[in-house]
Amino acid sequence: MSDERTYREWYETVFSPVAGRQRRERFVTSSGIDVEPVHGPWSVEEGLEERLGLPGTYPFTRGVYPSMYRGRFWTMRQYAGFSTAAESNRRYRYLLEQGQTGLSVAFDLPTQIGYDSDDPLATGEVGKVGVAIDSLADMEVLLDGIPLDRVSTSMTINATAAVLLAMYLAVARKQGVPWEKVTGTIQNDILKEYMARGTYRFPPAPSLRLITDIFAFCNAEVPRFNTISISGYHIREAGSTAVQELAFTLADGIEYVRAAVSAGLDVDSFAPRLSFFFNAHNDFFEEVAKFRAARRIWARMMRERFGATNPKAWTLRFHTQTAGSTLTAQQPENNVVRVALQALAAVLGGTQSLHTNSRDEALALPTEESARIALRTQQIIAHETGVADVADPLGGSWYVEHLTDELERRATDLIDEIEAMGGALAAIEAGFQQRHIAEAAYRAQRAIEEGDRVVVGVNTFTVDEESPIPTLKVDESVEARQVERLRELRASRDTAAVDHALATLEDAARGGANLMPPIVAAVESYATIGEISATLVRVFGEYRGPAMV
């Protein structure tokens, strides 16, 4: 079969007569892309060689590095954090002992939004979905015994990213580690918070100022640190399709680059430190193709739209997390299989780092045993399967190339629609992305409820009784202990130094100076995250999202 005519003849004479016996009337991916019973050269657009290139070369469809995992494996970065800084530090040490190669810190909701643990709005949330960090004193405990010149750390923090980065750098300075040796990533992606997640504090304009200030500061002072992780993960978790995840994430990236360029930053200088964060979902081949399409779209955007000439500014490097929304409380042991397949898709798609979810996350925060199984999943893929021995092993697959082309086309059309509205921020303010995500989530849930989409153990292959698995329970005394620790800090620190540092920060916020140096100074005076955030709120105001129906 060498052309579409021959394929169609085969389809009509061989497949069509038995089509009535197939499982469904129509086979489509999660994004609604039709899946033929077989794919061949007719599936792929002309000019495939130009769209592929070689690994490590423009347009990076096949990977951002020439040797990919032959040189080194992806970073195995398990996301963890709960209770107090001391408890989380013990979990980090455990994971590093088990072979984890990078840290990934989960902060509790008060920390993420910028409230101290003794704030009335923090009641009931301290240490629950992440670790409570009120001040530099907590960060010192969190990172105790962890050498910041040898361990790369990712921090999932957005509205208060500048404050947590300042704390991290202050600990590095206390360890005697030069900032030019510090590596890691802060999420620092506020646009998706307005769109899909909701942990915002400041209005969009000053939030973008904080982000570009971080770009400029790190470009000069912390050159190996990734200054943003532009995140599609939460967009997908909110219910989007793969196409929407791809389009909305890259549209956010365009908005950040545009803001930085408008602030006078050189695209070839700051863009190499941009990174991305994607979801690895259930539709295996679509997910592999999504990662490949993302690299190609971004490379073209950076070179053609923004005129970047540095090849490192064209590359889309990304972290992946397996899909939390696909985990089930029913038959949780099945989640081990789901996570393994999702992780394999991320590796075949060329991820630079990976978090594998734990089997019990639909029930509670992971136990040590569950976290170890999740890490072992990555290690088995790396060391036992052979998939890391060659770059882009599915490259050239007619089906994968067809999906890559189709995802690129559909995502680019959606990006163009967003740009015609004035960009990602204007589209968010108009509720464009939110509506698309809500509609996709509704369709997906309806398909599950009507049985059109099978979820093993939930709407089919169910069991009457299940054996419970052990789950982690956060000690309810954590909040009281954290509040007492905060009270002791305030009683022992130099109050005059704190007041001076906060006044200096407020003056800088009212002016046009880069905010990172005064934030670092405030952190080093042991001002708390709540005090620093409240200072910025006095200048910037506090954002309240629109009501969505």
Residue 2 has pLDDT above 60, yes or no: no
Map tokens 């399709």 to a residue.
Answer: 241
Task: Write down the pLDDT at residue 549.
Answer: 46
For 375-414, the pLDDT digits (tens) are 999 999 999 999 999 999 999 999 999 999 999 999 999 9
Per-residue confidence at 1, pLDDT binned at 50, 70, 90? very low
Q: Tell whether the model's pLDDT for residue 548 goes beyond 80.
A: no
| Rounded average pLDDT over 314-343 | 97
DSSP 258-304: HHHHHTT--HHHHGGGEEEEEEE-S-HHHHHHHHHHHHHHHHHIIII
Omega cis (within 30) before 518 = no
d(CA 159, CA 112): 7
Give me the phi and psi of 79, to 5 degrees please.
-75, 125
Domains of the chain by range and CATH? 48-250+274-295+316-449 (3.20.20.240)
The DSSP element (H or E) to which 549 belongs, if any, is none
Q: For residue 476, what are the contacts with CB-CB under 8 A and spacing of at least 6?
A: none
pLDDT of residue 36: 80
Exposure string (b/e) for 53-66, b if CB count within 10 Å is 16 or more?
Answer: bebbbbbbbbbbbe
Q: Specify whether the backbone of 147 is left (phi greater than 0), alpha (psi in -120 to 50) or beta.
A: beta
Q: pLDDT tens digits for 19-56?
A: 666 777 778 998 999 888 778 787 888 888 889 989 99
pLDDT digits (tens, 9 = 90+) for 75-116: 998 888 888 999 999 999 999 999 988 898 999 999 999 999
Report how far residue 43's alpha carbon sits from residue 400's, in angstroms, rounded to the nearest whole number.
10
Token representation of residue 445: 């849930």
pLDDT (tens digit per residue) in 472-522: 887 889 999 999 999 999 999 999 999 999 999 999 999 999 999 999 999
Name the average pLDDT for the chain: 93
Report how far apart the first and last C-alpha atoms of the chain are (Å, whole number).
Answer: 51
Rounded-to-integer distance, Cα 434 and Cα 240, Å: 9
Beta carbons within 8 Å of 386's beta carbon, 6+ residues apart: none
Give per-residue pLDDT as tens, 221-240: 999 999 999 999 999 999 99
Task: Give pLDDT tens digits for 182-225.
Answer: 999 999 999 999 998 899 999 999 999 999 999 999 999 999 99
